[in-house]
């Protein structure tokens, strides 16, 4: 296998195969992935667009059309389609490939389906690392597609600079559920399949909820009707996405987002390193079973065990950091 330093070098040069390899390495969440990220750490270099919404809303079909328009604003576009490996969204990976295949063969468009595999940080952790790989590879726009509205999707949404929530007519109760919270994650609301008759009613409902929710704020999310079938509204969506981008850059929101991500990177790395240290130095794998037995037999409690570990640990810090 190629050395990690060689793969890193090639990723930075924009080599597609190295980028694909790099994403697989970080998906696996092992030491090689960490080594790679050490070589290519970047934050804030690419603009990250999250596209989320219920299954079958037309997210992939929309992205396929958006990419063409985005080429006027960005040099290279990467799409990471997140597959939460849930049985409810079966076939998503194949569907995404087919729906976005217009761009196969275009060296400036990279489309990849993501899985979490062994990553400790779950799908959000794997996505976060994959964003760094494509970012280091020179993709100045990274689009992250996620399905649904569960916690893991919300975690993924937090990685984005701008989030588009795609809704479609016929959701019924889902809109009710969205009133409480989900509405907060959309910086823009796209009402797709507006070729369908009920779509206007949905747009009105969403407008009402958004107006209520954002009545005191400077930024009010736009509501954009689109139809992939009729190729309508795509230009409007791109225009409003770029407007949001400009808004967050102008107001310092973007800077804050980046600093938060950096803080998160430091914290999770520190946590992992401390955990590794503990596992290594207190012979954790050998002792854990013994401790479990002690607690099970009522001879100790988790608190007492931690106390005795703590009393026996001598951590020497060379200097104030």
Q: Interface with ligand GTP by CB under 6 A: which residues?
A: 55-61, 89, 92, 95-96, 99, 147, 192-193, 195-196, 227-229
> Which C-beta is closer to Mg ion: that of 58 or that of 221?
58
Q: Is 83 in the site for Mg ion (CB under 5 A)?
A: no
CA distance 298 to 24: 45
Nearest distance, CB of residue 178 and ligand GTP, angstroms: 16
Please state, in angstroms and rounded to a whole number, the distance separating the CA atoms of residues 199 and 321.
57
Minimum Å gap between C-beta 92 and Mg ion is 6
CA of residue 220 relative to chain centroid, distance: 23
Q: Give the nearest distance from C-beta 108 to ligand GTP in angstroms.
A: 21
C-beta closer to ligand GTP: residue 147 or 183: 147
Using rule CB under 5 A, residue 153 touches Mg ion: no
The gap between the terminal CA atoms of the chain, to the nearest Å, is 38
**Chosen from ligand GTP, Mg ion, none, partner binding at 36 (C-beta under 5 to 8 Å by type):** none
Q: Which residue is nearest to ligand GTP (CB)?
A: 58
* Span interacting with Mg ion, options 52-60, 104-112, 134-142, 251-259, rule CB under 5 A: 52-60
Helix (H) or strand (E) holding 145: strand 141-147
Quote the CA–CA distance of 169 and 200 in Å, as a whole number: 8
Q: Determine if 192 is a binding residue for Mg ion (CB under 5 A).
A: no
Cα–Cα distance measured from residue 237 to residue 257, given in angstroms and rounded to the nearest whole number: 22
Least distance to ligand GTP from the beta carbon of 166, Å?
7
Interactions with Mg ion, residue window 209-238 (CB under 5 A): none
Residues paired with residue 114 on neighbouring β-strands, in sequence order = 82
Distance of CA 260 to the CA centre of its chain: 14
Q: Which does 55 bind (CB under 5 to 8 A by kind): ligand GTP, Mg ion, none?
A: ligand GTP
CA distance 58 to 52: 10
Q: Which position has the token pair 């799908």?
A: 123
Q: Does 96 interact with Mg ion (rule: CB under 5 A)? A: yes
- Quick one: what does residue 52 bind among ligand GTP, Mg ion, none, with the CB cut-off 5 to 8 Å set by partner type? none
The DSSP bridge partners found for residue 81 are 113, 145
Strand partners, 184: none
Residues that bind Mg ion (CB under 5 A): 59-60, 96
């Amino acid at each position: 296998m190629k050395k990690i330093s060689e793969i890193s070098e090639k990723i930075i040069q924009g080599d597609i195969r190295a980028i694909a390899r790099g994403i697989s390495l970080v998906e696996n969440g092992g030491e090689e992935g960490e080594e790679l990220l050490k070589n290519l750490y970047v934050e804030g270099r690419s603009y990250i667009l999250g596209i989320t919404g219920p299954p079958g809303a037309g997210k992939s079909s929309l992205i396929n059309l958006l990419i063409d328009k985005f080429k006027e604003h960005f040099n290279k576009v990467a799409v990471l389609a997140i597959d939460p490996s849930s049985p409810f969204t079966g076939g998503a990976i194949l569907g995404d490939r087919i729906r976005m295949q217009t761009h196969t063969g275009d060296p400036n468009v990279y489309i990849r389906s993501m899985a979490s595999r062994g990553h400790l940080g779950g799908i959000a952790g794997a996505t976060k690392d994959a964003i760094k790989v494509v970012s280091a590879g020179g993709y100045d726009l990274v689009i992250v597609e996620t399905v649904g509205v569960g916690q893991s999707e919300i975690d993924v949404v937090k990685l984005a600079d701008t989030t588009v929530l795609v809704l479609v007519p016929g959701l019924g109760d889902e809109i009710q559920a969205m009133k409480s919270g989900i509405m907060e994650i959309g910086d823009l609301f796209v009402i797709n399949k507006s070729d369908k008759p009920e779509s206007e009613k949905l747009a009105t409902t969403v407008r009402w909820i958004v107006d209520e929710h954002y009545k005191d704020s400077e930024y009010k999310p736009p509501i954009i009707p689109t139809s992939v079938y009729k190729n309508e509204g795509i230009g409007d969506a791109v225009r409003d996405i770029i407007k949001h981008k400009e808004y967050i850059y102008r107001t310092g929101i973007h800077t804050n987002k980046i600093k938060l991500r950096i803080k998160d990177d430091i914290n999770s790395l520190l946590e992992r390193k401390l955990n590794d240290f503990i596992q290594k130095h207190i012979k954790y794998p050998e002792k854990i079973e013994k401790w479990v037995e002690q607690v099970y037999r009522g001879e100790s409690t988790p608190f007492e065990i931690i106390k005795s570990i703590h009393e026996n640990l001598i951590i020497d810090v060379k200097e104030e950091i």
